[in-house]
Amino acid sequence: MISRIAGKLKKLVVLAGVAALLCPLAAQADDQVQLVGAGATFPAPLYQQWFKDYHEKHQNVVIEFQAIGSGGGIKQFTAGTVDFGASDAAMTDKEIAAVQGGALLLPMTAGSIVLSYNLPDVKELKLSRDAYAGIFMGKIIKWNDAAIAGSNPGVTLPDSAINVVHRADGSGTTFNFTGHLSAISADWKAGPGQGKSVNWPTGVGGKGNDGVTALIKQTPGAIGYIEYGYAMNSGLPFAQLQNKAGKFVPATLDSAAEALAAVELPANFRAFITDPEGDGSYPIVTYTWILAHPSYSDAKKGAALKDVILYGLTEGQNCSKALGYVPLPGAVVTKVKAEVEGIKVGS
């Protein structure tokens, strides 16, 4: 009898020991938070760096970001299938009204849209406003066309076809590029117009900034619009573009920052920079936004998302330049931080 009791006590001690070992694991599992976002490919390299760095500091928070384009990001955010979205095209009032629980548009960084090309023998290229609008309208079809040659004295341009590459998916990069074309070209405004997707007069489509980059690299005579960081990281050359002041300006972090400085960010953070003023302003620059809800019923998710966004607005800005993005001005950071801190979490 005593031996049976002793055996049972021994089993209880073992089970208690196992439970003691498992309890910290259970607590740790309860502390895990997974955040899922989707949207713009434009800021994807920067966001992925932020999320990786944040996870290294906060092992319990795992952030998955699907770079599917701004249009897809808005759709998934509206459908409630992701915790946050990302878009280079500011949501319209109608789009915001369709989001259950509402939406906040939080500018996180900014960057330039460049026209990269594949002409191995042409190291530098200048494109006037008439020239690049004409190229994407399908009206300028040869590289040695007078509209291009006139801005490039001394440069030998090939007598070969221009192969236009554009986005095939719903894209904030497209929204901003076509918005700029609409601002500088009456023909474009009356034709394809501005949108996340448009009916392109010419060219072939690639999915995402990375898809367009790949098509440009593998297509002789190609030209396409991509985010500055993608061009820098892929080694693709890009043209100097004529700005509103009539100056040919290369895409640099400084020329993008000058363009941003010419535009005041409104209270709702929706700034549309279609054709900035300033001699040194690069002509195609945009903010890009994270889409979040004003409140989250899941307290852990809400608190984690707020902290991730605040990280991007503060420490995260330090790696912007290395990846080809423009750090937000201090005054903008202050305003956006206040909006983020106002997000409510829990019931």
Is 10 part of any domain?
no
Query: Is residue 143 assigned to a domain?
Result: yes
pLDDT at 264: 87
- pLDDT for 262: 86
Question: Is residue 198 included in any domain, yes or no?
Answer: yes
Whether residue 194 lies inside any domain: the answer is: yes
Are 98 and 223 part of one and the same domain? no
Domain co-membership, 58 together with 206: no
Q: Tell me whether strands 248-249 and 240-242 are parallel, antiparallel or unpaired.
A: antiparallel
The stretches of 92-248 forming alpha helices (DSSP H) are 93-97, 129-137, 146-149, 172-184, 186-190, 208-218, 228-234
Query: Domain limits at 132?
Result: 112-285
DSSP 251: -
Q: Do 84 and 141 belong to one domain?
A: no
Claim to verify: residue 268 and residue 212 sit in the same structural domain: yes
- 79 and 127 in a single domain? The answer is no
| Residue 1 belongs to a domain | no
Last residue of some domain: 285, 320, 337?
285
Domain boundary among 253, 269, 285: 285
pLDDT for 34:
97
**22 in any annotated domain:** no
Q: What is the dihedral of CA 252, 254, 259, 262, to 10 degrees?
A: 180
pLDDT confidence of residue 30: 63
On whether both 243 and 169 belong to a single domain, the answer is yes
Both 262 and 338 in a single domain? no
Q: Do 163 and 272 belong together in one domain? A: yes
Residue 193 · residue 142 · CB < 8 Å: no
**Tokens standing for residue 195:** 């949108």
323 in a domain, yes or no? yes
Tokens for 47, please give them: 């966001």
- pLDDT means per 10 residues, the chain with 347 residues, are 41 36 43 96 97 97 97 97 96 95 96 97 97 98 98 98 97 97 98 97 97 98 97 96 98 96 90 94 97 97 98 97 94 96 92
Number of domains in the chain: 2
137 and 240 share a domain?
yes
| Domain-embedded: residue 23 | no
Last residue of a domain, one of 268, 285, 302: 285
Same domain, 131 and 143: yes
Which CATH number characterizes residue 55's domain?
3.40.190.10
Beta strands in 99-169 (DSSP E): 104-117, 126-127, 163-167
**Is residue 302 located within the same domain as residue 279?**
no
The CA angle 129-42-295, to the nearest 5 degrees, is 125
